[in-house]
């Protein structure tokens, strides 16, 4: 008997739940905010641009006038902004049922965040590491809380270069190499946080997901490249819309059967498109030594220490 594919209709009622989606003003984040608010959650839409965040909110409200969405400023390239966002959230809300760490940049030219981090690792991993840590107390006191980290199939070519994590001075930097490292970091972080949560007996589940190949503005840094123009036409039939690309993250975020440490992606060929299913990351993403080293480095760089004890 064929098992029916998981869709947005399988998201249970989220009435009374408080949810944060980073990068909620466009792409996968926007689709996630739309889907989660439709099921009754109060969704905090974290956005670097309040103007674009407000536009996203108004667009969703046209379709769903009952949507409860709170647009809040969040720049993951600035640790001060991350801290301010968390402090503002903690003043307004007493629970956090779901933290969807979705925001990210892809294959950008070499550059640094406000705090001097290589920007892909800085935004995709370190910003979310700091945010999750600042919100950890409220996650701890929320029954059955969940954290979802959005990674990428690109993690499969990733390697943690602890000798030069930030590609100082652009040494050895290629946009894809840095992106793949940041996406592998997302999965190492997922597994290490889940291990530490289980060790301390906390009621939090950490999962991860990737969207396959979805049409979002993440591609803006490579879409004018010659190779992308050729491959883009060839691969177009195998890509999916952002609304479908958001499904693995939404399943990781809401499916009651999800287990800590699971990874979701599209179920089609090469995990490029299709209904969301559990998928297998590369073995390196389970490397305990790399994960522990990344954790310690992340603490040092961000100054954020997780309050893991009960």
Question: Taking the chain (310 residues) in consecutive chunks of 10 residues, what is each chunk's mean pLDDT?
Answer: 80 98 97 98 98 98 97 98 98 98 96 98 98 98 98 96 94 96 98 98 98 62 48 56 93 98 92 93 97 98 94
> pTM of the full predicted structure?
0.92
CA distance 136 to 12: 24
Which member of 30, 179, 263, 306 is catalytic? 179
CA angle 8, 14, 19 (to 5 degrees): 95
pLDDT at 213: 83
30 is catalytic: no
pLDDT at 2: 47
Domains of the chain: 12-300 (3.40.50.720)
């Amino acid at each position: 008997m064929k098992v029916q594919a998981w869709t947005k209709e399988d998201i249970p009622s989220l009435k009374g739940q408080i949810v944060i989606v980073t990068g909620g003003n466009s792409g996968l984040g926007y689709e996630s905010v739309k889907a989660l608010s439709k099921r009754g959650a109060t969704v905090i839409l974290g956005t670097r641009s309040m103007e674009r965040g407000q536009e996203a909110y108004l667009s969703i409200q046209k379709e769903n006038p009952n949507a409860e969405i709170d647009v809040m400023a969040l720049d993951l390239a600035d640790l001060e902004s991350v801290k301010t966002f968390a402090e503002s959230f903690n003043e307004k809300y007493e629970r956090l049922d779901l933290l969807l760490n979705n925001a990210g940049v892809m294959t950008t030219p070499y550059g640094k965040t406000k705090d001097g981090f290589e920007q892909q690792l800085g935004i995709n991993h370190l910003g979310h590491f700091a945010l999750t840590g600042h919100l950890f107390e409220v996650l701890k006191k929320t029954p059955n809380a969940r954290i979802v980290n959005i990674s990428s199939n690109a993690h499969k070519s990733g390697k943690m270069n602890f000798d030069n994590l930030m590609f100082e001075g652009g040494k050895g930097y290629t946009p894809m190499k840095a992106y793949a490292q940041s996406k592998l970091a997302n999965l190492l972080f997922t597994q290490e946080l889940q291990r530490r949560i289980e060790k301390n007996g906390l009621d939090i589940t950490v999962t991860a997901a990737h969207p396959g190949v979805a049409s979002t503005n993440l591609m803006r840094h490579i879409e004018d490249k010659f190779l992308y123009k050729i491959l883009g036409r060839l691969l177009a039939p195998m890509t999916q819309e952002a609304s479908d690309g958001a499904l693995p993250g939404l399943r990781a975020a809401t499916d009651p059967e999800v287990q800590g440490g699971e990874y979701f992606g599209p179920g089609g060929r090469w995990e490029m498109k299709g209904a969301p299913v559990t998928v297998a990351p590369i073995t390196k993403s389970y490397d305990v030594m790399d994960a522990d080293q990344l954790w310690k480095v992340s603490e040092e760089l961000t100054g954020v220490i997780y309050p893991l004890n009960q």
